[in-house]
A and B are shown apart, each in its own frame.
Chain A
Amino acid sequence: MTLRLTLLAVLIGIAALALPLGPLLGAYARDPDLALTILLQLRLPRAVLALAIGGFLGLSGAAMQGLLRNPLASPDVTGASAGAALGAVLVAYTLSQTSTLALAAGAIVGAAIALAVLLALAGRGATTARLVLAGVAIAALAGALTSLALSLAPSPYAIYDILFWMMGSAADRSLVHVAIALPCIVVGSVLIVSARRGLDALTLGEEVAASLGHDVASLRLRIVAGTALGVGASVAVAGAIGFVGLVVPHLIRPRVASPGASLIPSALGGAVLLAAADLLVRVPVAGQELKLGVVTALIGAPFFLHLIVTDRQP
């Protein structure tokens, strides 16, 4: 499965560079340098970000579901994405620090705070209901504060950006965004993947994991910090994209042996899903590009419902 998903991700990545062909060919006919600029400055960042962010959302969703032993945990349901968006918006719109680095820092702090509040509210091994309620409350609060910050921002354009921050988009991103986001995503992924064996032990409960020699506090810290880092950087450059982190681990779950074994396939699945969604949004609807979160929800929600209906133990 890992091999097939990798191939699929590579294929979609190539498609993301090539499609649509029209502007590329048009630019090439005019001046090959222009075609190269489109490829390097516009399509490459977009393809890399869609793959990397999708991958990270899948990875962190799988890790959080394992850590919290809760099938509904994911960056969006726990409020981490909404917290990251709030952090980025406060930095960029309220403090007028517009560098991508400052945005990423704000988003990482926002995601970390949201996760810390969630863990404080819902506690360890919390029931699904409690975790989801806390996550929904945090996400709603962060979303409301984001809207408020955008409404009060000095820039009259700010209010139009609500859709970007709430639904996400990889359009018109540049190599600067890649240069800031990718290292954070890589470090976050390494932190999470380093917790792989501990996640397996956690299926037996935190105390058994501890009795098996796993440092559960460090495990939790690595996953939460890794998620905050990666989700923060992702949201800072592409907004809060929902559903990938929730749905993909569920698609992978029946096909792998353990939570730790689900990490890499979930990352690949997330990369494939988001990059495919980003290909779809390039087809303009009524002259507008759809936001990524709209498409991931349009694909993801029915899939998820199907899963709930057909799987006896979702």
Chain B
Amino acid sequence: MILTGINLSRPPGLADASVVAHPGALIGLIGPNGAGKTTLLRALAGLTAGPGIVTLDGTPLTALPAAVRAQRLAWLPAGREVGWPMRVDDLVALGLSRNDPPAVDAALAAVEASAFAARRFDTLSTGEAARVLLARALVAKPQVLLLDEPVANLDPFYRLAIMACLRRVADAGAAVVVALHDLDLARQSCDRLWLIDHGRIVADDAPGAVLSPARLAAVFGIAWSDGGWRQV
């Protein structure tokens, strides 16, 4: 999946950005609040017609029929509100264009949520709800998975569990782009990081290279010292 020419800054930034998400890669999208992580994910998902062109295996996203795009690409927004107290398995099935109970069971198993398949969504804890919504995004076995803060408000155990699940999805051949705020989690879980600042991608490299002290100070205004993060 190749994204070219997207410029998220208002006023317009300097250069066209171009990023590529390869199959099998687990990419962390990091940046300060308001940097444009959500906007970039939405552009990648084809939800906003930006100035750039998003291509999927060489085909512009806009040229793909909606049904094909829905099958190949899944987007999980940060919000976890659901407008109806549905059963968990019914909710996961919304990610499919046809009836396929084994796929639903497999997706629930992948996020370790099989135990509450028959419960109503409004009875779930935050951690359970997050995993069920992730199962909805996984159920169609998309080639590209775009996730906006899937671990927000989760305790450390579930953060690790979800990242482990995303690793399995990437290992199975999907390109996964996940927006994260937790830099340690991003460093430890991702193959590659996209650092975004003021609407532009300022780094696209291995975690160690992206999270250099100079960049962290410049973009986030923080530095590591005495075993913890400090403001600079």
Listed in ascending order, the chain A residues whose CB lies under 8 Å from chain B are 66, 69, 200-205, 207-208, 210-215, 257-259, 313
A64 to chain B, nearest CB (A): 12
Among the listed B71, B74, B84, B97, which residue makes an inter-chain contact with A203, where contact means beta carbons less than 8 Å apart?
Answer: B84
Q: Given known contacts A203-B94, A258-B86, is B122 in contact with A211 (CB within 8 Å)?
A: no
Chain A residues with CB below 8 A from B66, complex form: 210, 213-215
> Is B85 part of the binding interface, using a Cβ–Cβ cutoff of 8 Å?
yes
> Interface-forming stretch among B75-83, B169-177, B178-186?
B75-83
Q: In whole angstroms, how far apart are the Cα atoms of A202 and B42 in the complex?
A: 17
Chain B residues, CB < 8 A from A313:
85, 122
Q: Which of B12-40 contact A (CB under 8 A)?
A: none
Find chain B residues with CB under 8 A from A257 CB.
Answer: 86-87, 90
Chain A residues lying within 8 Å of B77, measured Cβ to Cβ, are 205, 207-208
Are A259 and B83 neighbours in the complex by a CB distance under 8 Å? yes
What is the CB-to-nearest-CB distance from A262 to chain B, in angstroms, rounded to a whole number?
A: 8
Given A204-B136, A205-B77, is A212 in contact with B83 using a C-beta cutoff of 8 Å? no
Chain B residues whose C-beta falls within 8 Å of the C-beta of A210 in the assembled complex: 47, 66
Which B positions have Cβ atoms within 8 angstroms of A?
42, 45-47, 66-67, 69-71, 73-77, 79, 81-87, 90-91, 94-95, 97, 122, 136
The residue in A207, A213, A259 that gathers the most chain B C-beta atoms within 10 A of its C-beta is A213
Compute how far the CA of A211 lies from the CA of B41 in the bound complex, rounded to whole angstroms: 12
Name the residue of chain A whose CB is nearest to the CB of B75.
A211
Name the CB-closest residue of B to A208. B77
Residues in B with CB closer than 8 Å to A213 are 66-67, 69-71, 97
Highest count of chain B CB atoms <10 Å: which of A69, A210, A211, A214: A211
A contact face: mostly helix, strand, loop, or mixed: loop
- Chain A residues with Cβ below 8 Å from B47 are 207, 210-211
- Per the bound structure, the CA–CA distance linking A258 and B82 in Å amounts to 11
Q: Which of A201, A212, A214, A257 has the most CB of B within 10 A?
A: A212
Query: Are B122 and A204 interface neighbours, CB within 8 A?
Result: no
Give the contacting residue for B82; candidates A66, A204, A207, A214; CB below 8 A. Answer: A204
A313-B86 Cα distance, complex, nearest whole Å:
13
CA distance A200 to B87 in the complex (A): 12
A277 to B85, CA, bound (A): 30
CB distance B74 to A211 under 8 Å? yes
B75 partner residues in chain A, CB cutoff 8 A: 207-208, 211
**Cβ-defined contact, B79 with A205, below 8 A:** yes
Q: List 5 A-B contacts (CB under 8 A).
A: A200-B84, A208-B75, A211-B69, A257-B90, A259-B83
Chain B nearest CB, measured from A38 CB (Å): 45
Give the shortest distance, in Å, between A6 (CB) and chain B (any CB).
23
Which of B45, B69, B83, B136 is in CB contact (< 8 Å) with A66?
B83
Task: State the CA gap A208–B83 with chains docked (Å).
Answer: 12
B110 to chain A, nearest CB (A): 19
Instruction: For the complex formed, measure the closest distance between the CB of A31 and the CB atoms of chain B, giving whole angstroms.
Output: 55
A212 touches B45 (CB 8 A): no
Which residues of chain B have C-beta atoms less than 8 A from A207's C-beta?
A: 42, 47, 75, 77
